[in-house]
Amino acid sequence: MSPHVLILGGTTEARALAGLLHDAAAVRATGRGDTAGPRDAVAPGLRVTSSLAGRVAAPRLPAGEVRIGGFGGPEGLAGWLREHAVDAVIDATHPFAERISFNAAAAAATAHVPLLALRRPGWVPVDGDDWHEVASLDAAAAALDGLGERVFLTTGRMGLAAFAGRPEWFLVRSVDAPDAPMPARTEVLLDRGPFTLDGERELLRRHRVDVLVTKDSGGAATAPKLTAAREAGVPVVVVRRPPVPEGVTTATTPEEAAEWVRTRLPAGGRA
């Protein structure tokens, strides 16, 4: 039986990993290609399934098989792993998708399936940044006192209730329209990254933004807003990311994750 890998998440890294594994398996199966690298990362015939939460109306779909929707908690996920003979799980969800990460850890342990967390590196402040790091969205809302009156809120469409009672004006950017409750003075901007530095500079200028609120999502797609804020002298409230569940191995790039798969999955699937 061909080895089966389940990738959790619709992040940029998840799509890149699915592409690496899918292309490598196809190349190995057909005998094409003779160079080392990601193409040689997996055994021939590898089956790759990506699972998306379904919270985005029109997600970018990865290579290989795709399922959309939840599993019904850790017990449901463990059952799915057994039913579909999954040999390895890659948790490549958003760094703030804390619940599914802990569900994945519990399910993998129950089903005795190896688990890897793929996490892009977090952002770090540089000279000139005015960062105010906090532990939660509620703390981010409280941190706005005295920082500014026009807030660029880039924490996604979930969790806006934490800011609902704030008096400031908010520009909320998200892929899909946010749900209530939200701040009384809110303008919604529907957009999807990656974003350019020139575009972020113009956005801050056009909307007269004087404070930015963001999660430490990491990665390059949305990082230009941090540079634009630094150049404009705009303070940034940064919500720290939750930790990876204890005992779970981590990788920081799709290539590292592909190599992890290669070392754990023999050509015949489960050992």
Identify the CATH number of the domain in which residue 164 sits: 3.40.50.720
pLDDT at 114 over 50: yes
10-19, 65-74, 191-200, 260-269: range with lowest mean pLDDT? 260-269
- One domain, residues 68 and 137: no
Summarised one tens digit per residue, pLDDT across range 36-52 is: 444 444 455 799 999 99
For residue 189 the two structure tokens come to 């901007």
* Res 101 pLDDT > 60: yes
Q: Which amino acid type is present at position 38?
A: P
Residue 84 predicted with pLDDT over 90: yes
What is the C-alpha to C-alpha distance for residues 253 and 87, in angstroms, rounded to an integer? Answer: 20
Model confidence over 201-230: pLDDT tens digits? 999 999 999 999 999 999 888 899 999 999
What separation in angstroms does the CA of 180 have from each of 24, 97, 105, 163, 189?
44, 20, 31, 11, 15
b/e burial code for range 6-18 (CB count within 10 A of at least 16 → b) = bbbbbbbbbbbbb
**In this structure, is residue 270 part of a structural domain?**
no
Mean pLDDT (whole number) for 172-188: 92
Contacts of 8 (CB under 8 A, 6+ apart): 14, 50, 51, 89, 90, 91, 92, 93, 100, 104
* Type of residue at 106: A
CATH code of 34's domain: 3.40.50
Residue 197 covered by a domain: yes
Query: What is the residue-wise DSSP string for 113-157?
Result: --EEEE-PPPP---TT--EEEESSHHHHHHTTTTT-SEEEEES-S
pLDDT of residue 134: 98
Contacts 24+ apart (CB under 8 A), 134-142: 134/237, 134/238, 134/239, 134/240, 135/239, 135/240, 136/162, 136/239, 137/162, 137/163, 137/239, 138/162, 139/239, 140/213, 140/237, 140/239, 141/165, 141/166
Residues 234 and 162 reside in one and the same domain = yes
Check: CB of residue 77 under 8 Å from CB of residue 211: no
**In the predicted model, is pLDDT for residue 242 greater than 80?**
yes
Count: domains in the chain: 2
Please check whether residues 117 and 247 belong to one and the same domain: yes
Does one domain contain both 36 and 111? yes
DSSP annotation string for 178-196: PPSP--SSEEEEE--S---
The mean pLDDT value of the chain amounts to 89
For residue 25, the model assigns a pLDDT of: 61
Residue 59: the pLDDT is 76
pTM given for the model: 0.81
156 and 50 in one domain? no
pLDDT for position 271: 42
| 77 and 154 inside one domain | no
Above 80 in pLDDT, residue 267? no
Question: Which residues constitute the domain of residue 29?
Answer: 4-121+243-264
Nearest CA among 136, 131, 194 for reference residue 161: 136
